[in-house]
Amino acid sequence: MIGSLFVGFLIALIASSITNRGESMGCIGKIILGLLGASLGQLLFGDWGPKLLGTAIVPSILGAVILLTIFWRRHS
């Protein structure tokens, strides 16, 4: 359980650094984004690439990037 939360947070950190969005989300928001992004990414792109605690990292980051670009605005 705690490992999944850590992986979700890590995925959200990577996705937010790629897109420059979601800076003001906070830890809980980033964990939720990472978990939702992982679910979406693995649903859309499959379960391939390196895995961390059973989560495919590359599709998960792609899913989180998609969520960030759709739902969060950039702060100017």
How would you write the pLDDT of the chain (76 residues) with one tens digit per residue?
Answer: 788 889 889 998 988 888 887 777 888 888 888 899 889 998 999 888 888 888 888 999 999 999 888 887 665 4
pLDDT for 73: 67
Tell me how far apart the alpha carbons of residues 17 and 40 are, in angstroms, rounded to a whole number: 19
Measured CA to CA in angstroms, residue 20 lies from 10, 11, 36, 44, 69 at distances of 15, 14, 18, 23, 9
Q: Which of 4, 75, 40 is nearest to 61 (CA)?
A: 40
